[in-house]
Amino acid sequence: MFGKFLALFIIVPLLELALLIEVGKYLGVWNTIALVLVTAVAGAMMMQLEGLRVWNNLQQDLMSMRMPTDNIINGVLILIGGIVLLTPGIITDIIGITLLIPFTRSIYRKILKKKFEYKVRTKADIVEIKEIQ
């Protein structure tokens, strides 16, 4: 767990900084700053639009008495995508955009669902083994 936090809070910002410096060499300082600002604003707008769409879908699921599992996961992924897009950087912008686009978000959702299912299955196996003993 410590290694993941180390990567998240130290390695990723260092990579972002190095990449921004390299992009700044080609585009110039002001164009690089503009790029970061434009992606942040565009990301905020995309987050709002996608968030409203998922919210409407969630409400429809609840009114139809269906479990809104996919919409809940979509909502969390959109929130994460928006937060990541507000973070200055190119790597985080790419990740944030892919979390906001419905097609690529569905890939993340499938991966998360498989991970959740695996955790539930392994926890259920552990509980079952303890009950047998």
- Please report, for the chain, the start and end positions of each structural domain, with discontinuous segments joined by +: 2-132
Average pLDDT, integer, range 52-74: 89
| pLDDT value for 106 | 93
| pLDDT value for 7 | 75
Backbone angle region of 122, left / alpha / beta, with phi > 0 → left and psi within -120 to 50 → alpha: alpha
pTM: 0.78
| pLDDT value for 127 | 55
- What distance in Å separates the CA atoms of residue 43 and residue 47, rounded to the nearest whole number? 6
pLDDT digits (tens, 9 = 90+) for 109-127: 999 999 888 888 877 666 5
